[in-house]
Structure 1
Amino acid sequence: MSDYSPGQRWISDGEAELGLGTILSCDKRSVTVLFGASQETRIYSAQRAPLTRVTFNSGDQVQAAEGWQMRIDDSNISDGLITYLGTDKHGQHCELPEARLADSMRFDQARDRLLTGQVDRNDWFELRFHTLHHYHRTEQSTALGLAGPKIDLIPHQLYIADEVSRRHAPRVLLADEVGLGKTIEAGLILHRLLLSGRAERALILVPDSLTHQWLVELLRRFALEVTLLDEQQSLARAGDNPFDSGQLVLASQDWLFANPHRQQQAEDCHWDLMIVDEAHHLEWSEDQADAGYACIERLSASVSGLLLLTATPEQMGQQSHFARLRLLDPDRYHSFSAFQEEERHYGEVAAAIDALTRLPGTDADDDTSADHDLIAAVVDDQDSLALLAVLTNPEGDKAQQDSARTQLREQLLDRHGTGRVMFRNSRRHVGGFPERRLNVSTLELPSAYRRELRRVARDEDHLDDLLIRTGLDHPDMLIYLDDMYRALTDEPLNTEPWWQIDPRVNWLLEKLSELNSSQDSHSKVLVIAHNPETALGLAEGLRVLGGVHAPVFHEGLSLIERDRAAAAFADEEDGCQVLVCSEIGSEGRNFQFCHHLVMFDLPLHPDQLEQRIGRLDRIGQRHTIDIHVPVFEDSPSEQLLRWYQQGLDAFGAPHGLGNELFDAFGDELAESLLDPEGMNDVIDATRTLFDSRLAQRDAGHNRLLELNACRHDRAKATIEAISELDADNALPGYLEQAMDIFGVDTRELGGGLIHLKPSGQMLDGLPGLVKGEDGFTATFSRSRALARDDIQRLSWEHPLVREVMGRILDGSMGNTALALLKHPAIPSGRLMAELIYRTYCPAPKQLHLNRFLPPTAVRVLLDASGANLTSNVSFNGLSKHLHKVKKSQARELIKHHRDSLRQLIAQSETEAERELPSIVEAAQVRMRANLDSELSRLEALARKNPAVREAELNALRSERDALDNAIEATQLRLDAIRLIVTVDENYK
């Protein structure tokens, strides 16, 4: 039994967080302890109390209950109580009875915890060391922030994300064509800025119809949980600013733009980044701006980072495009007329860049003078002229000429045009997209549909009557004849379900049977109809008439139900052949594993048509896309199909002109659905404008943007860095060890899948894991994760992995241990201390110091004599021979070796400090090589291209100086200690 006396100070072995305890009373049976800092009282058995006596020695710093501190020189013991003797911070001699030690004194640091007998398990210590090693390695990766998201490795997307996220306060327009991944680019930029500490709060404003899509994309692809804010949630936070409810806030533009009070609340908050989708809807002229544009303009003035997204940057004309650039940089884009004048020269620059590919001539007779003059006309500095001279020197070395061509091309792209603030990739430029093949089937109109269409054609008043009776809109009622049939419930002939009289249902059954019997028998078929009633009725018709089970994907389903329907469709072996979607099925979900698309009806708007095709026509699609369209002969839908085919080539390839053409001809189109002759005029006018706009789009400005939107060498290097992390074999083993220690059950499911589920002993607060719930299924494979929406991808950037690493490195878990070493070559009773130091360099998070100097481990292994064994005995090699020891025995060993431990710790500091100068020097070299070259490039660029803001240059200079000072001030601090005692091989 330990000797307890009232007033003594002890700590709880199992609840160290309670702080320093004071013995209140004791007898032969029990001991009562008050933990003043936490106001908790514990009663323990005197025989088996999990307590450790707290004693301090000469040289230790302690704190008095009144707050002052002293350095201990000596101590006295009287009646079992210790009085410490020492000096305060003023050098005055003082005494401090142990009863007056501060209750709040904590023993988180490795040295204090070990000397007070608090030891963790050896596997915790090993996990801590491995965590520090992996964190140091991954934080320096150039792929950090880009490797974790659940995305395909698409060069242009990764180039844009890498380029933009490296900048201080990035302000850019992401304007890739439809289907090229603007949302992914924005998500990647946001993810990297958050992970690197360059951003903490972001406001994401999207059209109301896209809020769900963004919510799902950010969660599933980037594991980012956002707060979806609307009026109902705002009212629930009466008295508080609702925009303070989350770090990442997603809101509808429609809601915010209509509410000045909410706009003011958004402006009152601090944001590091704002993302605005569908930015072309913001209207501005030199005379006035709409409410949406004015709101974004006010917000963007106080937000350092701004991403504007639009697939059609010049859809509303050149002035509309200028309006977007003006939001990004009002100082640079202050005059519309000056901008117009600048754009006139972009074609010359594009022509010069194309000419570079033809220099030098491939044959002695080649006349390259015209190409030389094209380039010389836009080159106006000595460096560029010197490169041109090298390139055109007929006796030049090929390697030098290739280098000169590359440098000159980069200079021209950097210094001209809006490429620094605007990124636009086109399918023509990116490549790799499949062919589209339109298959039209003309069907006979059923009598119920024909009857009403004929009456409308004969009598215009009948159309008005139908609109009133059905509650439908014009021209929707003429396009979606099954809607009209369902709405006319008072018609005596409309007694059967629409799917029994509509020949498209049997046509679809025959199409499915035809595909089943062909070489393409395993192909999936995605069917899209305009509204959920049609989708649900169609699924019922397929089941009743053909015995075909088809899941339905529509807006009335919950997120989980949609996931199940999509997963059933995606399953290659046991999944269903067909999935029936309402129009929402063409929003936010990608089905590129499928290449048969059935448009059961046609949408009225070209953008919706392209959205439907875009669910299949994406990068990664390996097959020709077959688009099957059943249309009724001599019907409005047949006329609409003609307009799509002949007027704007809508099925051939995306062109981004649909909205502009629909705005121009939508009214005439609606009026001509029952007038084939009138439709001919509409088609001719549409085609004329379509060809004209295509020619304008392919002019020099867009060509220059395409060339600048992806630097392939940079993109390749980024992909290689990501692939290196993807192939890291250390992650599965690390995660298995960590999950075991944190109390998470892992089960192999086969096929590269594992299931993670909380156990009863799981530590609280792990992302995606809640006690009592099922957990989640995950994979380390990028391709497997991409194939299924319901599977998470585990990486070094996954929130669960980041949380585990953060808890270990920021807390005391595993920072002490004691182990026994059995080895035939080492005598019993020897002592060794393994000490892990790590660099400590406090700096603002936005500096992202870790890319140059992440926490770096310095390991020191000393024997009892002080000999340094570090280089002779590796960490893993030593760990293999270590054995655990009971905590009670560990405390006795520590007590016995306390004086030796103090000496070894003091000596280890000297040994570790020898490593610090080389660590600091290497970090400074990395930082300078990175920032000095980037600053030099931008300073040269700023002299030619005003798109480089002076604020950006100043921020980069300040960042470099701050990093230099922070790295120079780096210190080492003791992170973990393991005491190792050798024993005989027969020891048990």
Structure 2
Amino acid sequence: MSDFSPGQRWISDGEAELGLGTILNCDNRSVTVLFGASQETRTYSSRQAPLTRVVFGSGDRIQSTEGWQMIVDDSKESGGLITYIGEDAAGDPCELPEAKLADTMQFDQARDRLLTGQVDRNDWFDLRFRTLHHHHRIEQNPALGLAGPRVDLIPHQLYIADEVARRASPRVLLADEVGLGKTIEAGLILHRLLLTGRAERALILVPDSLTHQWLVELLRRFSLEVTLLDEQQCSAHGETNPFEAGQLILASQDWLFADPHRQSQADACDWDLLIVDEAHHLEWSESAVGPGYACVERLAAHVPGLLLLTATPEQMGQQSHFSRLRLLDPDRYHSLADFQEEERHYVEVAEAIDALERLPGQPEDTQRVAAVIDEDDSQALLDTLADAQSDAAQRDASRHQLRDQLLDRHGTGRVMFRNSRRHVGGFPERRLHVERLEPPAAYRRVLRRLERDEDYLDELLIESGLDHPEVLVYLDLMYQAMADDPLNAEPWWQIDPRVTWLLERLTELGNDKVLVIAHDRDTAAGLSEALRVLGGLHAPVFHEGLTLLERDRAAAAFADTEDGCQVLVCSEIGSEGRNFQFCHHLVMFDLPLHPDQLEQRIGRLDRIGQRHPIDMHVPVFADSPGERLLRWYRDGMDAFSAPHGLGSDLYAAFGDALADALLDPEALSEVIDETRSFFEARLAERDAGRNRLLELNACRQERAASVAEAIHELDNDRALRRYIDQALDIFGVDSQDLGGDLQLLSPSPQMLDGLPGLVKGEEGFSATFSRERALARDDVQHLTWEHPLTREMMARILDGPMGNTALALLRHPSIPAGRVMVELVFRTHCPAPRRLHLNRFLPPTAVRVLLDESGANLTDKISFTGLSKNLQKVKKAAARDLIKSRHGQLRELLDSAEQEAERELPSIVEAAQQRMRTSLDAELARLEALARRNPSVRDEEVSALRDERDTLGTAIDATRLRLDAVRVIVTVDQESR
């Protein structure tokens, strides 16, 4: 006779996701089960049905089909059906027949799964415990969020990312000089905020020409998939808001700033972070606001976090620089006049910081420091430092603390980070190669007439339609604009000796990559055509008139080291944002009129990681305005030797005089001399004041070194390789050793679905544990604790039932057969908003309890590893029978283990509170002290940190333990098979 009766509740051993099943009918041959929650019906052989009867015991919580719940006290059976007896939520007595149990009841919890006979593989249980252990350890590592990205460990980038991403709502200006990695800094900040839960949605606005570069960089370096929005993508969303289409939205500034409707849709979304690249293009003055600035200002008013990126913060003058600070904090930066007055006092602070290094020294050094410090908390430090009787350790500690206080409390260092090449170091030499050429007859004719006839310039401006001084510097444009002249019948590139010179230079350079930049897109297009026609060279052109796809194809063809082209011809747009670091030859076919544009050109090649000297090749026509412009750059401000950030000031002061002197060699000499004097004075003034403070504050080496050390610790973690190998095996991912610390990961037919980068039927990807190897090869992924594949596998284990039950056999000569032990893993549960990043103080913490069948606690006597390596697997059918036969005993042991685990909870909570208070109390005290002297610390920032501390304290106090996994261990004879 069958044990099945209609109305009984059973679950499928192989398809637990079907939910609770009801026996519809049965006979000697088959049994039919309806799984109501999934609307599935299964028919099994009654002799070998893979089903387990669901029977609840005292203390279990069950749910009725009507939605109410009850706690089971007892049960009774009649006609093969069980009726449960207990109390409802109000404490009133009630009964619930098993036929009335809710079909949707899930058995994910370890206790329920175990007692209903659902057990997983023993190695799954092992992996679950190790996952919880590693997750607990990694979440507290100070490098969390910074170790996973595929980037070099460059100190100033790590410091900025660590400092900014610690803040609850970071609002900063990333203003490192060209080539120092502002995009990487923004990516690191974004990656950490996402990983720690401080941000969930971000809007990234970049120039149109850089959208695909950002898209690729975020995916390649940070494994972040973003949604690129344009008008075509938006139209496909119909009436729904397209900005809700993804977690991370990337959009073109040109497109968004020109469309009020799309701006309103972006405004309507909830963002945690707004990133704006090339922010110097945002136009603002006290009398007029540009559309781009207005759009960002509206967004920034309700987005908590804001990152503005620009390599030239003062390109458009101090007013433009102030306007960007105003976006970060309009209350703090409300008056341009007040801001200018404040900056005048930064020299005193910089001098005080220099004086610290000399103390104990002259009395004037002590006075210089005393004039700028807070009396309340800094005077004691100064007294210690100035006291000749203090020992070296005391003086060093006081000097360090005072220096940090001064940097924190003065200047714009909290809202603006600017590293210079001089400060960072390690950049390649710049070598200028100037080629003087004779101008062709058509150019020479115009230049000679200009020198003889003062009125001809006005006539030329009218005829050509060009502006002054472009018409003097870009002679090819002037030639093209006067095409109606019968003497200008030939294309300009057929008469221009710079083209011949370039062809010769390309031949000399062999296979070396060469980036060519010209001011105008017509010049760039013509030059590309000339190289094709005259030299048979494929020279892709890159300018603003091309579509984004065409520009990306051109850049990709240039970047290809094997089959790519030798030369890429760009208009001025090619000197902004793009990274051509793999190339070290730059041909400036002409020169830009603004010094900052000149630096942007050079900065496409002169970047961190460049391993070759930068060779700058500049052809100029002898005694021409172009050559005189080069002299102003070279002799007036050393523009080719290194960036200095004063280009905007110099152009504002001498741009008009320079334009007038381009036809007058004597006047040019005077302009160069005046420029040089002004340049040296401003350089000294800047280095003594604000920029000196910014450089000191933009990278604190001790902090950067500690972050790098923490990343190295994670990179070199031996447990990582062991863990990933075990997880890949269990998740069904094949790993093939390719040699050289490379392996090919590919999906097996048994792979569990939904793993990042792995799709059944596809090849998979190559990976390495070596950061150096991953940086050297774009096609190889870097396996870390933060890699999406690792995090997905860990999340699948920790958030689901995988491996939360197991049954194993133990053969041991000193333990009689038939004994039972239970190994339970409890996990701390502390509900709190993700934005608080509770895990840095109290990540899910495992409490292991091992009991023998008498209830004796063996946890301290037998380690998890020592036990696991002696266990053997058992077939599932036998495991279910063993559990069924020991139901009562197992329930008692589960209850006893819970009481044992609860004894560990107070110490866990107390330690977490201590870690939280130690960290946040110190940071809060620091912020409150800063706020008294430095208005850059917003009141909202102090209040947010205080609220965060209080909320975390409440959440930690509410921590509870819950059963995460349980393994039943049965001892057997040594001879048993």
What's the TM-score, normalizing by structure 1? Answer: 0.88
Bigger drift between 427-436 and 33-42 goes to 427-436
2:589 counterpart residue number: 601
> Can you give the 5+ residue segments of structure 2 that lack an aligned partner in the other structure?
450-455
2:363 to 369, 382, 388: 369
2:750 counterpart residue number: 761
Report the residue type matching 1:885 in the other structure.
V
Q: State the 1:693 CA deviation.
A: 4.7
Q: Does structure 1 conserve the Cα–Cα contact (< 8 Å) formed by 2:156 and 2:704? A: yes
Q: Does structure 2 conserve the Cα–Cα contact (< 8 Å) formed by 1:527 and 1:598? A: yes
Q: 1:881 to 1:671 in 2, by over 3 A?
A: farther
2:311 counterpart residue number: 311
Q: State the 1:850 CA deviation.
A: 0.3
Q: 1:682 to 1:773 in 2, by over 3 A?
A: farther
1:652 counterpart residue number: 641
The yes-or-no answer on 1:943 pairing with 2:932 is yes
1:627 counterpart residue number: 616
1:907 counterpart residue number: 896
Q: How does 1:810-829 map to 2 (within 5 A)?
A: 810-829=799-818
The yes-or-no answer on 1:409 pairing with 2:409 is no
Q: State the 1:631 CA deviation.
A: 5.5
1:898 to 887, 905, 910: 887
Q: 1:493 to 1:704 in 2, by over 3 A?
A: closer
Q: 1:505 to 1:212 in 2, by over 3 A?
A: same
1:508 counterpart residue number: 506
Matched residues in 1 for 2:370 and 2:141: separation? 40
Q: 1:669 to 1:934 in 2, by over 3 A?
A: same
Q: 1:382 to 1:660 in 2, by over 3 A?
A: closer
Q: Does structure 1 conserve the Cα–Cα contact (< 8 Å) formed by 2:200 and 2:247? A: yes
DSSP-derived class of the 2:239 partner: coil
The yes-or-no answer on 1:236 pairing with 2:236 is yes
2:846 counterpart residue number: 857
Report the residue type matching 1:10 in the other structure.
W
Q: Does structure 2 conserve the Cα–Cα contact (< 8 Å) formed by 1:567 and 1:789? A: no
2:37 counterpart residue number: 37
DSSP-derived class of the 1:610 partner: helix
DSSP-derived class of the 1:237 partner: coil
Matched residues in 1 for 2:727 and 2:66: separation? 41
1:884 to 873, 892, 899: 873
Matched residues in 1 for 2:28 and 2:625: separation? 97
**Deviation sequence 1:451-482 (CA, Å, 0-9, x none):** 5434655788998999799xxx9689646899
The yes-or-no answer on 1:453 pairing with 2:440 is no
**Deviation sequence 1:597-651 (CA, Å, 0-9, x none):** 2426345365454344334422334554333445666777656544543344332
Q: How does 1:230-379 map to 2 (within 5 A)?
A: 230-361=230-361, 368-379=362-373
DSSP-derived class of the 2:408 partner: helix
DSSP-derived class of the 1:66 partner: coil
Q: 1:22 to 1:219 in 2, by over 3 A?
A: same
> How many equivalent residue pairs?
957
Bigger drift between 602-611 and 549-558 goes to 549-558
DSSP-derived class of the 1:86 partner: strand
DSSP-derived class of the 2:933 partner: coil
DSSP-derived class of the 1:725 partner: helix
1:399 to 380, 388, 393: 393
Report the residue type matching 1:769 in the other structure.
L
Q: Does structure 2 conserve the Cα–Cα contact (< 8 Å) formed by 1:553 and 1:580? A: yes
Matched residues in 1 for 2:487 and 2:897: separation? 89
Q: State the 1:253 CA deviation.
A: 2.2
Report the residue type matching 1:405 in the other structure.
R
Q: State the 1:915 CA deviation.
A: 1.3
Q: 1:800 to 1:468 in 2, by over 3 A?
A: same
The yes-or-no answer on 1:149 pairing with 2:143 is no
Q: State the 1:684 CA deviation.
A: 6.0
1:517 counterpart residue number: none
**Deviation sequence 1:792-844 (CA, Å, 0-9, x none):** 22211122221221111111111111222233443332222111111011111
1:806 to 795, 807, 811: 795
Report the residue type matching 1:502 in the other structure.
T
1:364 counterpart residue number: none
The yes-or-no answer on 1:106 pairing with 2:106 is yes
Q: 1:751 to 1:672 in 2, by over 3 A?
A: farther
Q: Does structure 2 conserve the Cα–Cα contact (< 8 Å) formed by 1:477 and 1:483? A: no
Matched residues in 1 for 2:577 and 2:63: separation? 59
DSSP-derived class of the 1:749 partner: strand
Q: State the 1:974 CA deviation.
A: 0.4
Q: State the 1:144 CA deviation.
A: 0.9
Report the residue type matching 2:341 in the other structure.
E
DSSP-derived class of the 1:972 partner: strand
Q: State the 1:786 CA deviation.
A: 2.0
2:453 counterpart residue number: none
The yes-or-no answer on 1:77 pairing with 2:71 is no
Matched residues in 2 for 1:32 and 1:639: separation? 94
The yes-or-no answer on 1:437 pairing with 2:445 is no
Report the residue type matching 1:835 in the other structure.
L
Q: Does structure 2 conserve the Cα–Cα contact (< 8 Å) formed by 1:485 and 1:494? A: no
Matched residues in 2 for 1:393 and 1:492: separation? 81
Q: How does 1:480-879 map to 2 (within 5 A)?
A: 502-512=500-510, 525-530=513-518, 568-569=560-561, 580=568, 582=570, 590=579, 592=581, 596-599=584-587, 601-602=589-590, 604=592, 606-607=595-596, 609-629=598-618, 641-658=630-647, 690-691=679-680, 693-879=682-868
Matched residues in 2 for 1:872 and 1:633: separation? 89
Report the residue type matching 1:509 in the other structure.
T
The yes-or-no answer on 1:171 pairing with 2:171 is yes
Matched residues in 2 for 1:162 and 1:58: separation? 51
Q: Does structure 2 conserve the Cα–Cα contact (< 8 Å) formed by 1:477 and 1:484? A: no
Matched residues in 2 for 1:501 and 1:318: separation? 40
What's the TM-score, normalizing by structure 2? Answer: 0.89
Matched residues in 2 for 1:774 and 1:476: separation? 55
Matched residues in 2 for 1:244 and 1:186: separation? 22
Q: State the 1:22 CA deviation.
A: 0.9
**Deviation sequence 1:904-957 (CA, Å, 0-9, x none):** 111111111121111111111101100111111222222222222222222212
What percentage of residue pairs aligned between the two structures are identical? 67
Report the residue type matching 2:589 in the other structure.
D
Q: State the 1:661 CA deviation.
A: 5.5
Matched residues in 2 for 1:485 and 1:41: separation? 84
1:95 counterpart residue number: 95
Matched residues in 1 for 2:554 and 2:817: separation? 65
Report the residue type matching 1:842 in the other structure.
P
Q: 1:8 to 1:703 in 2, by over 3 A?
A: same
Report the residue type matching 1:506 in the other structure.
E
Matched residues in 2 for 1:498 and 1:80: separation? 101
Q: Does structure 2 conserve the Cα–Cα contact (< 8 Å) formed by 1:115 and 1:898? A: yes
Q: State the 1:205 CA deviation.
A: 2.0
Q: Does structure 2 conserve the Cα–Cα contact (< 8 Å) formed by 1:753 and 1:778? A: yes
**Deviation sequence 1:167-223 (CA, Å, 0-9, x none):** 221222222222222222222222211111111112222222222232222222222
Q: Does structure 2 conserve the Cα–Cα contact (< 8 Å) formed by 1:648 and 1:690? A: yes
1:520 counterpart residue number: none
The yes-or-no answer on 1:26 pairing with 2:26 is yes
Bigger drift between 100-109 and 684-693 goes to 684-693
Matched residues in 1 for 2:973 and 2:535: separation? 76
Q: Does structure 1 conserve the Cα–Cα contact (< 8 Å) formed by 2:21 and 2:103? A: yes
The yes-or-no answer on 1:194 pairing with 2:208 is no
1:519 counterpart residue number: none
